[in-house]
Structure 1
Amino acid sequence: MTVPNHEQNHHQGIVLNGNTFSSHRFPAEPLGPFEVKIALQSASLNARDQMIRKGQYGEMPADLVPLSDGAGEVIAVGEQVTKWSVGDRVMPTFFQDWLEGSFQPSALSSAISSADQPGVLREQAKFHQDTLVHVPDHMSFQEAATLPCAGVTAWHALFEQHRALRSEDTVLIQGTGGVAIFALQLAKAFGARVVLISSSDEKLEKAKEMGADITINYKTTPDWDVELRELTDGHGADVVLDLGGKETLERSIRAVAAHGLITQVGVLTGWAHAPENISQLVLNNSSLSGVLVGSRAYFENLCAFVSKHQIKPLIDKSFSMSQIDEAYAYMDQAQHMGKVTIDIT
């Protein structure tokens, strides 16, 4: 009889050295009294994972286990674990040390797939019981694996800011990647008006089908901020999710409404210096806020919302763990819409 892999004294996974992936055999580790062992079923890719592989995210250790976002089933619990049982479906939170309350810079080193925390591209992993969140009942492991970074980031940008999103707001979303599509789904479920920009007419058409009220092709309409003002009778966007960074921030400032908010979510075009029109934020009583994923409490709030509204992530394409190179190459082409996932088992 074949022994299930989680009962063996080792498990398989992937490690990253430089920009090279290789398979790796991990020895079994004893569980601490408050730790939970998970048989990981699925994982997903984020822009951060690409940056790490390209050396754009600081120095990483040898044999780094990639990917921060995953979901799986509890297969063992430590002797003092009270929150979880074998068979529970769970997801680890991105920042292991940011559970609730205000963010503290010390939590940065607790991000999964970093110098201090291995990632989830492996068959098994163990986590402290306090760092796990229930998989929403209506989601598969594959769908749940898209939530910890992209889903929580979109939720944080829209609902956990000093300026709370209102149902009458207009929200501007840049792009059609994981965070952008989650933001579209969340904002529409809340009742807000959504403007989405992309360079692909095909993706814009799909965004309309998903509920986007206004779409703008920023290649054919490079002055998209002007177009946005015209389409909103001069009002602009109450909330802007800026995912571009260096090449989009100035236009985001011109697009944001009075008393509006720009959430700096991504830096897909690079890190930006202070734009020349930063004074416009002052003159409009608008604000700019950085967003870096979120806490376990934010994650739980997101899960409650998507469960209430039965929201399911948009998954563009899935790969096996042995196809990790192909998965990264596919995402690097920036042709996907929504999320790219990895099947671990």
Structure 2
Amino acid sequence: MGILLFLMAVVPSAVLLWLFLSSDKYPEPAGALISSFLLGVLIVLGIYLLYPFLSLVASGLPAGNPYVVGATHAFLLAAVPEEAFKFIILRRYCVNHPAFDEPMDGIVYGVTVSLGFATAENLLYVLDGGMHVAVGRAFLAVPCHALVGAVMGYHVGLAAFSRGERSGLYAKALLLSILFHGLYDFVPMTFRNAQAMGVAIPATVSFGLNILFGAVLFVLIQYVAVLTRSMKAIQREQTGPSFGFSRVLPNRVRTLDPAVRRSRVRRWIKAYKDETAPMDLLFSALCLVGVFCALAGAAHMGAPGDPLSRISLVVAVIFFVYGIGFAARGMGKLTVKLLRDRDGR
């Protein structure tokens, strides 16, 4: 049963990821996709660390109203932190990756990061809730994560190749994803909180909430279909991955100010303005955390021969290998930059 539940938790994400990746005219390198997916997985750790603070804020709101509590849980505890972490990864890592060379890549990486998180979240829910949870999430929650990731990725992709209004497109990417995510979660969380409080929702209100839930899904699906067709139309006009587009990337620091040269610490801080090296080092640190979490999970799942224990050990090895690789790359970039700055003095 453990293996079956694991497959039920992972296969929906794998299928959706394949569908979106197969629609890309210029496929992305496997390393960039795997790295983005794993960063999405590690969002779970960030949510875990933030949850006590968010719960403290939520505790100050009216506790007897299932609608207020449902909206609070949907937006404050779910949509805002999850989408904010996804946006940070897209903006600071994916956009600055050399493989991000066309607007369509925004959708590809947005979906990849979102499904990385959805896979980790799904494993937690399915292994705890069983088969009925797995079936429900396979057809609703996981596709919703992918669709919201596509909405965010579309606007991030446009912003990365825009000569103006970049901040507006980035803001739209974040706010639209929070809006869709929060509205999707609002209905089931309202019903769940009403049941926990023993509050009966009137039949007319229940009907309205179900209509709202269906409308959100319908609009989200249609919106992503329109955005995807728009991106494919742009791709058809291209003769290469970056034809017709000019990325406006942040300028790298070529020389150091005299005041900065006097301090080795300030020199390192200045070097951290490099586009990808900081994310490489952060990723390596998170990977080490992932190693300990996976090993701890393996230790508490039962006998060494238990299938889930073996899966946790495999996850630990993957995180370890990627953590070492990204740490080496990040340190290499920073070292090269510091040497160049020293030679340029």
Query: Which TM-score applies when normalising by structure 2?
Result: 0.24
Larger Rg: 2
Q: Which has the higher strand share?
A: 1
Query: Which TM-score applies when normalising by structure 1?
Result: 0.24
Q: Which has the higher helix share?
A: 2
